[in-house]
Amino acid sequence: MTFVQLIECRTSRLDEMNRLIDDWVRQTKGKRTATHAVVGRDRSDASHVVEVVEFPSYEEAVRNSNLPETDRIFRDMVALCDEVPTFTDLDVVRDERLAEETVRRFFAALATPGELPPLNDLLDEDIHSRDPVNPQDTIGLDSVRAEFRMWRRAFDFAFSVEDVLCQDERACARWTWNATHRGDFLGIGSTGRRVTMTGMTLFRFADNGKIAELWWQHDQLGLMQQLGALDELEQ
């Protein structure tokens, strides 16, 4: 179970504390078990500082605390505080990764049978989509929907989302696309062939939480080969 530790203190020497944390990161490289750390300062009380540190489990947090480097840094940190820091130990019982959920909903919506959903709950009105199939960026919700409809007219397909990695306002998904060729695609008439394509999509989210930009990378050459478009060239 994921474990989170909240460390609260009061200090007027936040810059020195940040340098201390940087020192700890360098000294414990390859040994520390913390996976994520955030330091925040209270907007209504600049001396009130909170650090949130995430670990894979409580046991890993204990291992991290037992590192000699952690003990030294803690003593130095206490010296920078106006009072003794307080610690709150939390077992994470709910962890909603909202960006990842949006990414997975997006891929599911693209493959929805029947009419393409409006997508206005997922995509920003001024979305930019960059797909190597198109010579220019596709801009705007209506144009992006038209691009997706082109793919849907040509193929019956589904996505298997293998990985989603999120950081700040961006996310990256690695996926496998399995499809049946049903209609015209880049001048190639329906072949009825089963095709597979792998790729990755980079997402940028707007302040409203919707997808504002898309960068597509996929094995277009492999797809064309599966459709028989390269047969004459290979002979």
Start-end of CATH 3.30.70.100 domains in the chain: 3-91
Start-end of CATH 3.10.450.50 domains in the chain: 98-234
C-alpha–C-alpha distance, residues 33 and 62, integer Å: 9
pTM of the full structure: 0.75
Which pLDDT belongs to residue 232? Answer: 53
Per-residue pLDDT of the chain (235 residues; tens, 9 = 90+): 899 999 999 999 989 888 888 888 888 887 888 888 899 999 999 999 999 999 999 999 899 888 888 888 888 888 889 988 999 999 989 887 889 999 999 999 999 999 999 999 999 999 999 998 888 999 999 999 999 999 999 999 999 999 999 988 999 999 999 999 999 998 899 999 999 999 999 999 999 999 999 999 999 999 999 999 876 555 4
Please list, residue by residue across 79-115, b when 16 or more beta carbons sit within 10 angstroms of its beta carbon and e when fewer do. ebbeeebeeeeeeeeeeeeebbebbeebbebbbeeee
40 within 8 A of 53, measured Cβ to Cβ: no
Query: Is 1 strand, coil or helix?
Result: coil
CATH domain 98-234 topology: Nuclear Transport Factor 2; Chain: A, (3.10.450)
Which pLDDT belongs to residue 234? Answer: 52
**CATH class (in words) of the domain with range 3-91:** alpha beta
Which pLDDT belongs to residue 139? Answer: 97
